[in-house]
């Protein structure tokens, strides 16, 4: 496949979306809203994760395109807002500002960082300063799968000084609460080992599915 780095293809995608969304374009595309499109973004993100975990380059390229479509689509819908419109360029500018702000060791004269761990520590300190006054768990979506959300919540709370015992405490001793505690214990083990608990479980289930024998 020919590599194009001049941005022409991306510009063509934006133009195509504009045509689809404009009068005389696609009736289905014209009816979509941010809310109606949201489930597709979730689905595409999972399909991208699956392609990445399978190390399938062709699928990865396609899934990245599908996820890019969601960004372009949402940005096109946002342009039509009567009170607070924004464009794909605005989205890109917000991203650019964030990348520069959170990488002062690259874009500014900041403290020397030598390892990926140093960068991660600095990143979280910057995020913490940006979120002064917010709840420590702000920005963690409720819609995340339970294991992924548990790992992010545990990570945030541990940075705030909570230890493992506090994270494993349960108010009730019923079966559901006890199972929840054991699942959190596994999440903490995964976090300590640098393992993505959600990806690990997906990988195990994928292996089981691959071993499943067909009907006899």
Question: Among residues 141, 136, 133, which one has the least CA distance to residue 155?
Answer: 136
pTM: 0.75
Is residue 126 within 8 Å of 102, Cβ to Cβ? yes
State the residue for tokens 């559901």.
Answer: 176
Q: How far apart are the first and last CA of the chain?
A: 43
Q: How confident is the model at residue 184 (pLDDT cuts 50, 70, 90)?
A: very high
Fold of 8-86: Helix Hairpins (1.10.287)
Please give the pLDDT value at position 130.
73
116: phi then psi, degrees, rounded to nearest 5: -60, -35
Length reported for the chain: 216
91: left (phi over 0), alpha (psi -120 to 50) or beta: alpha
State the residue for tokens 């289930």.
Answer: 205
Per DSSP, the residues of 142-179 read TTS-HHHHHHHHHHHHHHTT--HHHHH--S--SHHHHH
Q: Is the pLDDT of residue 1 over 80?
A: no
Q: For residue range 146-170, list pLDDT tens digits in order.
A: 999 999 999 888 888 888 888 898 8
Q: For residue range 11-58, list pLDDT tens digits in order.
A: 999 999 999 999 999 999 999 999 999 999 999 999 999 999 989 999
Domains of the chain, by residue range, sit at: 8-86, 93-130, 139-216
As given in the structure block, the two tokens for residue 78 are 């946002």
- What is the rounded CA–CA span in Å between residue 9 and residue 68? 12
């Amino acid at each position: 496949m020919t590599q194009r780095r001049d941005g022409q293809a991306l510009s063509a995608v934006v133009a195509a979306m504009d045509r689809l969304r404009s009068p005389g374009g696609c009736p289905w595309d014209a009816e979509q809203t941010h809310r109606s499109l949201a489930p597709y973004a979730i689905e595409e993100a999972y399909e991208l994760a699956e392609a990445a975990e399978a190390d399938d380059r062709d699928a990865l390229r396609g899934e990245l395109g599908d996820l890019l479509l969601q960004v372009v689509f949402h940005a096109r819908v946002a342009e039509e807002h009567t009170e607070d419109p924004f464009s794909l360029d605005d989205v890109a500018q917000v991203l650019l500002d964030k990348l520069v702000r959170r990488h002062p060791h690259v874009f500014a004269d900041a403290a020397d960082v030598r390892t990926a761990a140093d960068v991660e520590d600095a990143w979280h300190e910057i995020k913490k300063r940006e979120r002064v006054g917010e709840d420590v768990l702000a920005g963690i979506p409720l819609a995340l799968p339970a294991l992924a959300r548990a790992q992010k919540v545990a990570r945030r709370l541990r940075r705030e000084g909570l230890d493992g015992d506090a994270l494993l405490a349960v108010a009730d001793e019923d079966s559901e609460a006890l199972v929840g505690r054991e699942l959190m214990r596994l999440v903490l083990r995964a976090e300590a080992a640098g393992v993505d608990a959600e990806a690990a479980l997906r990988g195990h289930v994928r292996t089981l599915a691959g071993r499943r024998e067909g009907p006899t």
